[in-house]
Amino acid sequence: MCLNFSFRLSPFSMTFLLSRSLISLTLVRPSCSISMANPTMNAKARLRGVVFDMDGTLTVPVIDFGAMYRAVLGEDAYKRIKAESPTGIDILHHIESWSPDKQQKAYEIIADYEKQGIDKLQIMPGAAELCGFLDSKKIKRGLITRNVQKAIDIFHQRYEVIFSPALGREFRPYKPNPDPLLHICSTWGIQPNEVMMVGDSLKDDIACGKRAGAFTCLLDETGRYGPDDFSVSGLQPDFKVDSLSKIQNILETNFDLNP
Ligand SMILES: [Mg+2]
């Protein structure tokens, strides 16, 4: 059976299925197509857990990452590395090869920017409602961030929406490595293909989710990502939304929400 999908992209909605079969990835063959419009052909994939990124996904983005990278790398190196990194700079990766002294200073600069982020921390619109929906369906909720554990603790305390497990960058290797997501799946006793990774970074969140074998949903509030970004990076998210409030409908429409 040929299973693939032609996309029906509404110009009035940023919410769309990008690539994945609703049945199973193993059944998708890219050489043939069938419209998603035929629901009788689709057995819904089971979904038992959702793992979220924190900064820019569960919280409103307030950290000026461009300014942070400039401060850490210096203007010249920033421009060069930015030009060489079309999907974005991995600042933690760059720092890892530096001398301990230089690395320490860089971490201090990053911590300073992150502290400013914590001070201005706000929960993302739609996050609490989405978590309430997941709880009503008994779908597990986890969190993976490249920020520090302390920032997760503050988020938990301030908004009383608890994610478990919730891994900061103290868990090595961090995103985009799939290990933190695989660790959460293992802790839950759930297969990665029964989990969705949701995040606002193509190179970190979507890469982590895809490498782990999970479903992926890119949160792109401002339309910063387009098809070229997906093809250049080789990272095609399964879903893309411009608001967390769109995710409930995606889950209800496309998945068997069966814990
Ligand atoms: Mg993020």
pLDDT at residue number 259: 86
pLDDT at residue number 14: 42
User: Is position 9 within any domain?
Assistant: no
For residues 155 and 87, state if they share a domain.
no
User: Is position 12 within any domain?
Assistant: no
Q: Report d(CA 191, CA 176) in Å as an integer.
A: 19
Q: How far is the centre of ligand 1, averaged over its atoms, from the C-alpha of 39 (Å)?
A: 33
Tell me if residue 193 falls in helix, strand or coil. helix
Confidence of residue 38 (pLDDT cuts 50, 70, 90): very low
Dihedral pair phi/psi, residue 123, rounded to 5°: -75, 145
The CATH number that applies at residue 152 is 3.40.50.1000
For residues 149 and 241, state if they share a domain.
yes
Range of the domain at 98: 65-119
Q: Which amino acid is at 49?
A: G
Q: How far is the centre of ligand 1, averaged over its atoms, from the C-alpha of 35 (Å)?
A: 32
The candidate with the shortest Cα–Cα distance to 86, out of 238, 231, 192, is: 231
Instruction: Please count the structural domains in the chain.
Output: 2
For residues 126 and 247, state if they share a domain.
yes
User: How does pLDDT run across 69-106, given as a tens digit for each residue?
Assistant: 999 999 999 999 989 887 788 999 899 899 999 999 99
Mean pLDDT of the 124-131 span: 97
Mean pLDDT of the 27-42 span: 35
Q: Is the pTM of this model over 0.75?
A: yes
Q: How far is the centre of ligand 1, averaged over its atoms, from the C-alpha of 52 (Å)?
A: 9
For residues 159 and 233, state if they share a domain.
yes
Q: How far is the centre of ligand 1, averaged over its atoms, from the C-alpha of 243 (Å)?
A: 14
User: Is position 26 within any domain?
Assistant: no
Active site residues: 53, 55
Query: pLDDT at residue 143 above 90?
Result: yes
pLDDT at residue number 177: 97
pLDDT at residue number 42: 62
